[in-house]
Chains A and B, each alone.
Chain A
Amino acid sequence: MNASRSAAIFAWMLLAPALIYVIAIVAYPLVDTIILSFTDTALKKTVNWVGWDNYVRIFKSGFDVIILRTVVWTFFSVSIKMIIGVLGATLLNAAVPGRAIFRVLTMPPWIVPMAIGIFMWGWMYNGQFGMISGLLQRFGLVDGPVAFLAYGSTAFWATIFTDVWIGVPLVTLYMLAAIQSIPKDLYEAAWVDGASRLYRLRRITLPLIAPSLITISMISLISTFNSFDIIWILTRGGPSGETTTMIIDTYKTAFGSYKYGEGSARVVLVAMCLSVFCFFYFRIVNKLAATQER
């Protein structure tokens, strides 16, 4: 009895640092934010409990459109990053001369400080001084300057493109590591059996990199969903709110208008959306693990 009790105490002692860390860094702020979301906390010194008012106000103010826009923005950005990342990793894994140089060349978007990279893109999208508009005019593809950040549709895609540019190197390197971990004898055996390149990709590469692909997708999805810097620096959510995502809207409410209570309600909704994604992620991961065990 005593031995099992001391074993339990020892186990708790081992767990304690991690538990304290999780409580201090995750649990306490989360609970506090949830409580705050049910109050009218703002600049004023008094705080009142307002029940579901903040949530009702959010959905009456067209937040559903912002949620949908965020999901679409995230979907396209993550999908493009994954496609380019997997293709890039496959190419970088190929035995071509100068492979090391190509690998290094994928890094700059990741190495350049993010804000500087975004400002650079801001200038490239500029209609008057920007390189893209200049090239389009030089090749006679457009009549005059095109300000890509001026219109909802082009600004939306411009922000996605910049996010893809920043995010691709991480995905590529992660997938390259996954591809390199596949035993070479599997490919040799398939080659001896006469399997084509496509067949090998479909039946060996993709199944074996699937766990890594799902993990990096999830990491990319969370960071893209919460991506703030790119949109804020390029468009501040404009024009006419066409690039306002959930995180931009949350920032504007909480720190622009100093409505901390309503801002917290938006944070809770962001967390809920990401929790749904995580739920599906873990289901897929568990399914994959079960399949591999069989």
Chain B
Amino acid sequence: MSRMTKVTLGAAAMLMAGTALAMAADQTISWIYCGDTIDPIHQKYIKEWEGKNPGWSVKPELVGWDQCQDKATTLAVAGNPVAMAYVGSRTLKQFAENDLIVPVPMTDDEKKTYYPNIVDTVTFQDTQWGIPIAFSTKALYWNKDLFKAAGLDPETPPKTWAEEIADAKQIKEKTGIAGYGLPAKTFDNTMHQFMHWVYTNNGKVTDGDKITLDSPEVLAALKAYKDITPYSVEGATAYEQNEIRAIFLDGKVGMIQAGSGAANLLKKTKINWGVAPLPLGPSAKGPGTLLITDSLAIFKGTGVEGKATEFAKFITSPGPQGEYELQGGAGLTPLRPSPKVDEFVKADPTWKPFIDGIAYGGPEPLFKDYKGFQNVMIEMVQSVVTGAAEPEAALKKAAADLEQYK
């Protein structure tokens, strides 16, 4: 073998080894990350995980909230999925049924770490399809000054729907200001807000594959909606949840259902406010709320599903997740109980109602066409709020319409 040939072969071998090394270092987990910035806590733990997993890197791609879900979906459908995406847990069934994501089963020990009912938000066909990363619950905010002006005890919020409707009526009649803020715009949180009433009356939309919407519990919720509408902000169908919150922040409504983020905003105002668990319906077994989670879903066909699952479990494990959700101001309800959460609630008692409601809370129902479900619910609520339909008829129609989406 000539010297020239040896040099050539040596160079080729070095080139191949270099390429192999480069390929090994090139293993990336792409992550569609919703929002404007990557949370510093996540940045910290991404670095930590990469340090423990040489040759692997995590590449978050920031996508605005409005396009986030659509981008992950479109890429997956086009056959170019990202490894992992931040998605609303409500869409997991749709993804799973269309073979776009892989299951992410949790062990019993993992399940036990969460508050009750949280794992249900990502469970379908007895397995988990995502790992919860963000969680929100709602509580009742009331304006103490408006309560006082209406002759109500400003320190006693309503505990039942009957009291809530009566208080709203009294505020409206005595002050001329809306007693309650009922959002009913063509917007996803119109359905969310109604689901809080369903879960504070032991109601359910589905039971397995069966639609159970047309039940006495849900009917009672819809009737309560009808009853409270005359004392609510005029033109409910013009407002979504955050627009109603803006009216509350302006002191122009007596009570609203809102998340923990409202407390942070209210602290910057001169409004004299309080926050309490959501009032209960006649069939309630205890404090309830809709449990809304966002999850990390692992997409199929990337070749890195296993490692992406490993990373997703790491970043949502009690340590990193606890740090992420308890940093304050994020408006996230903690996913797991812990001594740190207890300290957090002790330091800021306004958090208590948001955690109390979890006990009898329920998940966003999983449908194979989630938007179809959402539209049916919005249509039902709007028809009752505008007086276009009676609760019984609207409920029956909605229950029948939902069959096609389950």
User: Which of A's residues lie within 8 Å of B, judged by CB?
Assistant: 42-45, 125-129, 144-151, 155, 235-241, 252, 255-258
Tell me the smallest distance from the CB of B272 to a CB of chain A, in Å. 20
- Asked if residues B386 and A239 are in contact (CB atoms below 8 Å), the reply is yes
A237: B residues at CB distance < 8 A: 186
User: Which of B's residues lie within 8 Å of A, judged by CB?
Assistant: 70, 73, 76-77, 94-95, 97-100, 176, 184-187, 233-239, 243, 246-247, 250, 252, 369, 371-372, 375, 378-379, 382-383, 386, 388
- Asked if residues A240 and B234 are in contact (CB atoms below 8 Å), the reply is no
- Asked if residues B371 and A238 are in contact (CB atoms below 8 Å), the reply is no
Tell me the smallest distance from the CB of A177 to a CB of chain B, in Å. 38
Tell me the smallest distance from the CB of A240 to a CB of chain B, in Å. 5
A-B residue pairs in contact (CB < 8 Å), sample of 30: A43-B73, A43-B76, A43-B94, A125-B238, A127-B233, A127-B234, A127-B235, A128-B250, A128-B252, A129-B246, A146-B234, A149-B185, A150-B234, A150-B236, A150-B237, A150-B238, A150-B239, A151-B237, A155-B238, A235-B185, A236-B185, A236-B186, A239-B382, A239-B386, A240-B379, A240-B382, A240-B388, A252-B375, A255-B70, A258-B73
- Asked if residues B235 and A43 are in contact (CB atoms below 8 Å), the reply is no
- Asked if residues B98 and A45 are in contact (CB atoms below 8 Å), the reply is yes
- Nearest first, the 9 closest Cβ-Cβ pairs linking A and B are A147-B235, A238-B186, A150-B235, A150-B238, A239-B237, A147-B238, A43-B98, A149-B238, A236-B186
* Bound complex: CA A155 to CA B205 (Å): 31
A147: B residues at CB distance < 8 A: 234-235, 237-239
B77: A residues at CB distance < 8 A: 43, 258
* Bound complex: CA A255 to CA B73 (Å): 10
B382: A residues at CB distance < 8 A: 238-240
* Bound complex: CA A125 to CA B238 (Å): 9
Tell me the smallest distance from the CB of A208 to a CB of chain B, in Å. 46
- Asked if residues B235 and A146 are in contact (CB atoms below 8 Å), the reply is yes
* Bound complex: CA A43 to CA B370 (Å): 12
A44: B residues at CB distance < 8 A: 97-99
- Asked if residues B237 and A238 are in contact (CB atoms below 8 Å), the reply is yes
Tell me the smallest distance from the CB of B16 to a CB of chain A, in Å. 36
Q: A44-B98, A240-B382, A240-B383 are in contact. Are A256 and B239 (CB under 8 A)?
A: no
Nearest chain-B residue to A149 (Cβ)? B238
Tell me the smallest distance from the CB of A159 to a CB of chain B, in Å. 13
A240: B residues at CB distance < 8 A: 237, 379, 382-383, 386, 388
A236: B residues at CB distance < 8 A: 185-187
* Bound complex: CA A44 to CA B386 (Å): 37
A129: B residues at CB distance < 8 A: 246, 250
Tell me the smallest distance from the CB of B243 to a CB of chain A, in Å. 8
Tell me the smallest distance from the CB of A270 to a CB of chain B, in Å. 20
- Asked if residues B73 and A238 are in contact (CB atoms below 8 Å), the reply is no
Tell me the smallest distance from the CB of A138 to a CB of chain B, in Å. 16
* Bound complex: CA A148 to CA B239 (Å): 11
Partner of A257, one of B246, B372, B388: B372
B70: A residues at CB distance < 8 A: 255
B383: A residues at CB distance < 8 A: 240
- Asked if residues B386 and A149 are in contact (CB atoms below 8 Å), the reply is no
* Bound complex: CA A216 to CA B281 (Å): 58
* Bound complex: CA A73 to CA B252 (Å): 34
Partner of B378, one of A145, A146, A238: A238
A128: B residues at CB distance < 8 A: 233, 247, 250, 252
Q: A151-B386, A237-B186, A256-B371 are in contact. Are A127 and B238 (CB under 8 A)?
A: yes
Tell me the smallest distance from the CB of A146 to a CB of chain B, in Å. 7
- Asked if residues A145 and B235 are in contact (CB atoms below 8 Å), the reply is yes
